């Protein structure tokens, strides 16, 4: 896969952030950017026909294991962020009755 394609995925995410008026869509956009980054790094660390990175004397042509190790951490962090953001969305819906940015940010403080 061409790295340019992953950049397109990232740009789609930014497009979503810059245009959507819905909080949940913004959360999705951030997730899309993150998927793009993960794809980019895995893609750059990949070798065509490389073996899995388990140390073994017979195999010398192996895929770089570091990107995979790092990206699994990123995925974990990403899922935390998504979970937290969606929880906040639910709470915002309870307080304001909507998840539109404009209405949520425009309204004066509502006493809970």
Partner 1 sequence: MSQIPVILIFLPVLTALFIYLFKWRHMHLLALLTQTGMTILAIVYFLHFKDQFEATHIILGGWSDVRIGISLANDGLSMAFIFLTLFMWWSVLTYLYRFGKTEHTFLFFLMFLQGVFLGLLQSNDLFNLFVFFELTTIIVTILIAYKKTGESFRAAIYYLLLNTSGVLLFLIAIVMLYNLYGTINIRVLSEVIHTHADTTILKFAYVLMMTGISVKAALFPVFTWLPKAHGVAQSAISALLSGLIVKGGIYLFFRINFLFESAGLPYHNIFFILGLLTALSGIIFALAQKNIKLMLAYSTVSQIGLIIMGLSSPDITTFYGGVLHTFNHALFKALLFLGAGVIIAVYRTKKLDEIRGVFRTMPIISVMMIIGMLAITGMPFFNGYISKSIIKYGFEDSVFRTLALYLVNIGTTTLFIKMSHIFFGPKMLSYPMKHRQQNITLLLLALACLVFGNFYVEIMDAFFGIDYAHITRISLGGLLDYGITVIIGILIYLYVLKKDVKLVKGIREFKISFETANILFIALLTVLTFYFVIL
106 binds partner 1 (CB under 8 A): yes
Q: How far is the CB of 111 from partner 1 (least distance, A)?
A: 8
Q: What is the dihedral of CA 19, 24, 30, 33, to 10 degrees?
A: -70
Residue from 30, 46, 53, 98 that binds partner 1 (CB under 8 A)?
30
Spatial CA neighbour of 92 closest among 79, 109, 77, 67: 109
68 binds partner 1 (CB under 8 A): no
Asked if residues 104 and 96 have their Cβ atoms less than 8 Å apart, the reply is: yes
63 binds partner 1 (CB under 8 A): no
**Number of residues binding to partner 1, judged by CB under 8 A:** 43
48 binds partner 1 (CB under 8 A): no
Question: Contacts for 64-68 with beta carbons within 8 Å, 24 or more apart?
Answer: 67/41, 67/42, 68/42
Residue from 18, 49, 57, 58 that binds partner 1 (CB under 8 A)?
18
62 binds partner 1 (CB under 8 A): no
Q: How far is the CB of 1 from partner 1 (least distance, A)?
A: 15
CA distance 101 to 9: 24
46 binds partner 1 (CB under 8 A): no
């Amino acid at each position: 896969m061409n790295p340019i394609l992953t950049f397109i995925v990232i740009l789609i995410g930014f497009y979503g952030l810059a245009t959507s008026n819905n909080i949940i869509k913004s959360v999705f956009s951030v997730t899309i950017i993150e998927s793009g980054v993960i794809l980019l790094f895995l893609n750059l660390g990949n070798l065509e026909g490389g073996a899995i990175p388990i140390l073994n004397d017979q195999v010398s042509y192996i895929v770089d294991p570091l990107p995979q190790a790092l990206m699994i951490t990123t995925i974990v962090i990403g899922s935390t962020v998504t979970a937290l953001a969606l929880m906040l969305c639910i709470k915002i819906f309870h307080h304001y009755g909507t998840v539109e940015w404009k209405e949520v940010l425009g309204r004066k403080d509502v006493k809970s």
